[in-house]
Amino acid sequence: MRPAVRRWWAAAGWVSGGLVLFAFFLRISLGSVMDSDGANNALQAWDMLHGHVLLHGWVIGDATFYAFELPLNAITELLFGMGNLAVHMASALTYLIVTVLAAALAVTGSRGPARFARCAVVVAVLAAPLLTGSSVMLLLEQPDHIGTSAFVLASFLLIDRAPGRRFTAPLLCLILCAGQLSDLTVRYVAVPAVVAVCAYRALAARRLRSADAVLALAAAASVPLESLIRAAMLHLGAFWMVPPQARLSPVRLWPHHAAVTWLNVRILFGSIAASDTRLGRVGAAFGLICLLAAGFGLGRVVWTWRRASRAEQLLCAAIIFNLGTYLISVIPLPVHTREIAAVLPCGAVLAARACVPARISGTVPAGLAVAVTALAALVPLAAPATQPPLTPGPLPLAAWLEAHGLTYGIAGYWDASVITLQSGDRVQVRAVDIYNNILVPRWEANLLWYTASRHDARFVVADRDGRYPAAVFEKRFGKPVAVYSVASWLVLVYRTNLLWQLGHYADQPGLNQLARHERASPAGVRPAVAWPGGLQAGPW
């Protein structure tokens, strides 16, 4: 067979494998639920898709996911419309991209069956946590820091494959800058890893004027560049975000945090059996094997540091920086794994490179390696994929509200945006914080939603199970003119616009700032921007 034909067949095989892997991820995602965290990201992407690129009026949490997950959501919504399928497609695409980048790092320097075996090990490690339902929620159901790994892995892959090319340093700076704009975890993990490893290699080679020194400077330059871009976006009326919890904890808490960090690492790799773990203890044992393989890969790089490749050193440094900053911060809590999500794909790459040699000699050993690793990758994918697809719980409520002409209302946080998502934005339910006398939420909301002169909210969605009880809403808004029971919710209908009763702008964090920004525009008017439903941003 000619080399060109062989390359085409190889490319077709890798593409087919990627499509199969995407199908597994999508099927697993469809077997889980989407909550209002993920629904808010879908609404932000919907706004971007309709021309609201800077997300004017939005107050977002400490991670914006602006440069990766939101554009992916916008693409799937463009193709499939806002709804359950588009969100699951975006989630599966995010995890697929992370997996492909990890596999690309793992196969560097390998040939033939060893390439396949290393890819299979990466897939196995990344699939092991999917045996547990709560981990599926973390990794596949909403942007929750796992997509941030794409920036980490992409920057490492660029350095590994093209360390001395002219375009490498500027492109690296842009990747890290975009990553920080999406999630400041990149600033505390990828940037210090690149600076430390590249500076070490430059000093070890005693060549300060080298490609490694330039890469270290490019990574450091990404920090002020991101701050400048963010300041420019704010000047143009972009979203606000909640400052991250970038604070050190007291030293006396570090031993406790170390125990919590180890627990969360075990949960992240799926090595702890939970009530919803597929295959039970066998699944947890498989996760433990993956964790031990990742630990072996990490220890191997540390032991052979001077001989390790750039990619291996970068991955090792990223894991150390991620776990180290997590441990000494105020963040560690049990079952709070999202901030260390990048450890999973980095560990998967190190496990593959440590457990599978670059070349496997002999037909029998090669066939055995391919068979074993393929089985190890297939089992943790097939087991959760047998879970039947779930019908979204709020879907009947969304259909009922639309059928009865109730298209704008309010509800508690965990009910609001997910109803809007399931209706395809035809019914818009806005979240309120019922724990502070029913006010506008402090984040993950567009403050323009609560402008009474723009919107007319005539109903409230309350829970029958007591999470958002009807009595709390009635205490604030008074007795409704009608109450309807729909599935596990109560719909309270009013004759007046409830937004007038949410308080003045000065009482709401961020609303007074938004008003000042609008008044600072020429003639008090912002440029018209097309919004879903035909709404135009005009005079405040």
**250 or 14, higher pLDDT:** 250
Contacts of 6 (CB under 8 A, 6+ apart): none
Q: CA 494 to CA 480: how far, in whole Å?
A: 5
Q: What dihedral do alpha carbons 52, 55, 57, 63 form, nearest 10°?
A: 170
* Residue with the two structure tokens 């203890």: 281
What pLDDT shows up at residue 438?
Answer: 79
Within-domain flag for 2:
no
C-alpha distances in angstroms, 83 versus 49, 421, 491? 14, 5, 22
Query: 433 and 377 in one domain?
Result: no
Query: 205 and 327 in one domain?
Result: yes
What would the pLDDT profile of 260-313 be if each residue is shown by its tens digit?
999 999 999 999 988 888 888 899 999 999 999 999 999 999 999 999 999 999
Pairing assessment for the beta strands 445-446 and 240-241 based on DSSP bridges: unpaired
**101 or 62, higher pLDDT:** 101
The residue among 187, 454, 441, 189 whose CA lies nearest residue 319 is: 189
Q: Angle at the Cα of 84 (from 83 to 86), degrees rounded to 5?
A: 70
Within-domain flag for 56:
yes
Query: 231 and 139 in one domain?
Result: yes
Answer with the one of 322, 355, 385 that is the final residue of a domain.
385
290's tokens: 């993956």
- Checking if the pLDDT of 515 tops 80, the result is no
Within-domain flag for 7:
no
Q: DSSP state, 112?
A: T
Answer with the one of 332, 361, 385 that is the final residue of a domain.
385
Structural element, H or E, at residue 110: none
What Rg, from alpha-carbon coordinates, does the chain have? 25
- Checking if the pLDDT of 229 tops 70, the result is yes
Query: 190 and 68 in one domain?
Result: yes
Flag the least confident range among 250-259, 344-353, 433-442, 457-466: 433-442
**Please, are residues 300 and 318 in contact by the beta-carbon 8 Å criterion?**
no
Residue 503: pLDDT band with limits 50, 70, 90: low
- Checking if the pLDDT of 533 tops 50, the result is no
Local structure of 366: helix, strand or coil: helix
450's tokens: 């609560």
Q: CA 352 to CA 370: how far, in whole Å?
A: 13
10's tokens: 């190889």
Query: 379 and 401 in one domain?
Result: no
**Residue 318, phi then psi, degrees to nearest 5:** -65, -45
Q: DSSP state, 481?
A: S
Mean per-residue pLDDT over the chain, rounded:
87
What would the pLDDT profile of 328-373 be if each residue is shown by its tens digit?
998 888 888 889 999 999 999 999 999 999 898 888 888 898 899 9
Query: 88 and 23 in one domain?
Result: yes
What would the pLDDT profile of 173-223 be if each residue is shown by its tens digit?
999 999 999 999 999 999 999 999 999 999 998 888 889 999 999 999 999
Within-domain flag for 10:
no
Which one-letter amino acid corresponds to residue 230? R
Q: CA 258 to CA 267: how far, in whole Å?
A: 14
Neighbours of 347 (CB within 10 A): 29
**Please, are residues 488 and 463 in contact by the beta-carbon 8 Å criterion?**
yes
Query: 478 and 412 in one domain?
Result: yes
Pairing assessment for the beta strands 445-446 and 489-493 based on DSSP bridges: unpaired
What would the pLDDT profile of 74-93 be if each residue is shown by its tens digit?
999 999 999 889 999 999 99
* Residue with the two structure tokens 């616009």: 497
Q: CA 121 to CA 377: how far, in whole Å?
A: 7
Query: 328 and 406 in one domain?
Result: no
The residue among 411, 493, 476 whose CA lies nearest residue 445 is: 411
Residue 536: pLDDT band with limits 50, 70, 90: very low
C-alpha distances in angstroms, 305 versus 108, 297, 300? 18, 12, 8
The residue among 273, 280, 287, 272 whose CA lies nearest residue 351 is: 287
What pLDDT shows up at residue 525?
Answer: 30
Query: 474 and 350 in one domain?
Result: no
Query: 428 and 370 in one domain?
Result: no
Q: CA 189 to CA 61: how far, in whole Å?
A: 19
The total domain count for the chain is 2
Query: 400 and 379 in one domain?
Result: no
Within-domain flag for 130:
yes
Which one-letter amino acid corresponds to residue 472? V
What would the pLDDT profile of 424-434 be if each residue is shown by its tens digit?
999 999 999 88
Answer with the one of 385, 403, 430 that is the final residue of a domain.
385
* Residue with the two structure tokens 């045996």: 131
Pairing assessment for the beta strands 482-486 and 408-412 based on DSSP bridges: unpaired
For residue 99, the number of C-alpha atoms closer than 13 Å in the C-beta half-sphere is 28
**Please, are residues 502 and 450 in contact by the beta-carbon 8 Å criterion?**
yes
Within-domain flag for 279:
yes
Within-domain flag for 390:
no
Which domain range does residue 41 map to? 17-385
**Please, are residues 464 and 489 in contact by the beta-carbon 8 Å criterion?**
yes
Q: DSSP state, 526?
A: P
53's tokens: 């690129």
Flag the least confident range among 155-159, 249-253, 283-287, 503-507: 503-507
Query: 62 and 38 in one domain?
Result: yes
**Residue 132, phi then psi, degrees to nearest 5:** -110, 130
Q: CA 534 to CA 540: how far, in whole Å?
A: 17
Q: CA 483 to CA 499: how far, in whole Å?
A: 19
Q: CA 296 to CA 304: how far, in whole Å?
A: 12
